[in-house]
Structure 1
């Protein structure tokens, strides 16, 4: 792997792309089987939504710690054990469902373990991609990684349904197999750049992060908010649609999986195209973020006044396109906004709020299911607020509109200034 980041090699990128692919399976593969789980083990709709929440909340809480450790030691030292813990949690949940007459509490233990493992996966993989590639190559790599994330969302409902045809808890046993494969790929094929210079002391490191947030807090908090809102809406909407398909339209099995995969396929395809086109154009990235938010907001408003399920699904596909426009742009802007020594923490905080958005979606949408118009209008208002925040506080300087990495430009200016002083 070249340290310049000028060329993307297939195997390292493929290995890193498996990490978010597996991470997203943790929720998306289980959403289609939640109604079956409710009926089989005798739990309520709210209890089944906690299967998603108890995965995402621990991940969201622990991700910042994983980011700090990856900055201080090594990205791979975090990613590989995290994947193995993720798989172990699947074994615990699967054995509970198989052997116990009342398995719910132990399934929750397994989901918490999976969430703790997930904390060291996708956000750290994004940070590592930022270390390995620069400029247009970085944008393309992050776009492909986000597309892999989206592809996981597309395939996982179908895989979940197919596995459930064997026995409803088969998905839990699939996790250790795929996690071991991903860990092996990362271990053998990703060559992490060596860290240069002495390790920062914890106090110094925290002061550096504090300084970064002090300078860029408007941009970072707005970008974090946008990522969380996009995934909160997507996963909440998917949970709502899965319940409606089961309870109202009596659609289950593989057909339900295919229906749920439609919006996710739109998101994955758009993420891939966006990542290959944005290059280093930060002005274009901001525009696509705003367009994406508009495409998320408008379908919510329309759905509030329509009751046609086919229209709902069609508009959800539009929301998927909007999410696919946003996420690669946010990934690139956040990853490029800081230097390598802080990238793990900054990107991990972004991953943390994304996880918390996923965690909040199903229970909140579930609680509002009986008043769908109110549900849609509240979510539309949240997305509209996010649009205004992004328009106001994701600022792009004139010199960055046509391309370039803002942080690298700052570093180069500092080096030139130091050279001039040395000559003087």
Structure 2
């Protein structure tokens, strides 16, 4: 651990608050999608646009936010991200037309672009080695517990009061911004480097095999999560099983049960098994879960697939994050994690658009089965490009500069 316990303890609540805020945008929305499309008289294919609108800005903004956080410090970057998220959330919940909702979701995505990566960076700023793996896993566990609760809560609120009230919690990002401002120190990083050196250091970091594999996997994983699970499954549950918003929310909450178990035990698992093994097994389990989801003829079988999906997601995503952070140089953590998040956002944007095309064509079953194809591709990626367990991390920008000097 890098700092005294008294200094790190206040960071963890902020990490969890930031993570919880970041997932509200889609976890509250997912069970409401059919109701929103019906309100605005939009076809099923528009579900992809609705999900992708909040992901698109992260492709460009995540790297910028990472560079700014490394250069100016965490507080002056994280606080405005949370505030923009909360303010945009008000407009998402009150949008009078589908087009205005898309614009509001885009603005929400501007704020969300830096949240997931900065939460992981805050952990990496304060913890090393097994402790870092433990808290990244715990953070993922908190996330997955919330993924179980948020859809159920939003579905219940929507059933009782309408989908607009179910999106009202998005405004809580404003209060999260105040918490971040009061918790984080105002200072800049001790080591100041030029923008040119920052970009050069980030470029060197991304030549590392483990970081590059993790980044590619993040793009595919988030395309599968947001395109297949979050965009296609709500329509599938509505069309094939006739579930209302509350019922859809319960199904969406099931994976979080198994996902949280996997995430909270990741540190224990990683002490026995390497990152590459965890990644391969998780991706293989993901492949099987999407086959069950797409081919299920009964709701019981589909729920079994959802539980299997949760195990794979809970083990895979924190493993990818930890693998990248274990190799990132100290002064490039935010930049590396931002690049990771940018690729995740690219997948998060393209996945729903592909799913929307499949929903408009072959249907929701085909869209779900496409997730098995993506997960199988991850199995091949991890087998061909295994992670480097326990290797020496990439040098810092300062160390790289010194080595390059004559």
1:148 is matched with which residue: 136, 142, 152?
142
Asked if the contact 1:304/1:377 (under 8 Å) is kept, the reply is yes
Cα distance per residue 1:295-328 (max 9 Å; x no partner): 0112334556553342133122212101111112
Q: How does 1:397-416 map to 2 (within 5 A)?
A: 400=390, 406-407=392-393
Q: How does 1:64-83 map to 2 (within 5 A)?
A: 64-83=63-82
1:117 is matched with which residue: 111, 119, 143?
111
Secondary structure at the counterpart of residue 331 of structure 2: helix
Q: How does 1:300-319 map to 2 (within 5 A)?
A: 300-301=290-291, 307-319=297-309
Q: How does 1:341-352 map to 2 (within 5 A)?
A: 341-352=331-342
Q: Residues of 1 paired with 2:292 and 2:103: CA distance?
A: 40
Cα distance per residue 1:88-143 (max 9 Å; x no partner): 1112223333xxxxx11211121111000001211112112111111111111111
Over 3 Å counting, the alpha-carbon distance change for 1:294 and 1:193 in structure 2 is: farther
Matching of residue 182 in structure 1 with residue 176 in structure 2: yes
Structure 1 partner of 2:266: 274
Tell me the TM-score normalised to structure 2 length: 0.88
Matching of residue 227 in structure 1 with residue 218 in structure 2: yes
Asked if the contact 1:21/1:151 (under 8 Å) is kept, the reply is no
Q: Residues of 2 paired with 1:313 and 1:367: CA distance?
A: 25
Structure 2 spans left out of the alignment, 5+ residues:
none
Matching of residue 365 in structure 1 with residue 358 in structure 2: no
The CA deviation at 1:52 is 1.0
1:260 is matched with which residue: 238, 249, 252?
252
The CA deviation at 1:260 is 1.4
Structure 1 spans left out of the alignment, 5+ residues:
98-102, 419-424
Cα distance per residue 1:231-268 (max 9 Å; x no partner): 33233124322112222322103222112110133223
Structure 1 partner of 2:373: 381
Q: How does 1:3-402 map to 2 (within 5 A)?
A: 3-4=2-3, 9-97=8-96, 103-164=97-158, 165-176=160-171, 178-191=172-185, 195-197=189-191, 199-214=192-207, 216=208, 218-235=209-226, 236-275=228-267, 277-278=269-270, 284-301=274-291, 307-369=297-359, 370-371=362-363, 374-375=366-367, 378-396=370-388, 400=390
Over 3 Å counting, the alpha-carbon distance change for 1:96 and 1:395 in structure 2 is: closer
Q: Residues of 2 paired with 1:16 and 1:55: CA distance?
A: 21
Asked if the contact 1:288/1:329 (under 8 Å) is kept, the reply is yes
Q: Residues of 2 paired with 1:292 and 1:11: CA distance?
A: 32
The structure having more radius of gyration, on CA atoms, is 1
Asked if the contact 1:5/1:133 (under 8 Å) is kept, the reply is no
Q: CA RMSD in A?
A: 2.6
Over 3 Å counting, the alpha-carbon distance change for 1:193 and 1:324 in structure 2 is: farther
Cα distance per residue 1:333-352 (max 9 Å; x no partner): 11121122111111111112
The CA deviation at 1:10 is 4.1
Q: Residues of 1 paired with 2:250 and 2:263: CA distance?
A: 20
The CA deviation at 1:354 is 2.1
Q: Residues of 1 paired with 2:370 and 2:94: CA distance?
A: 40
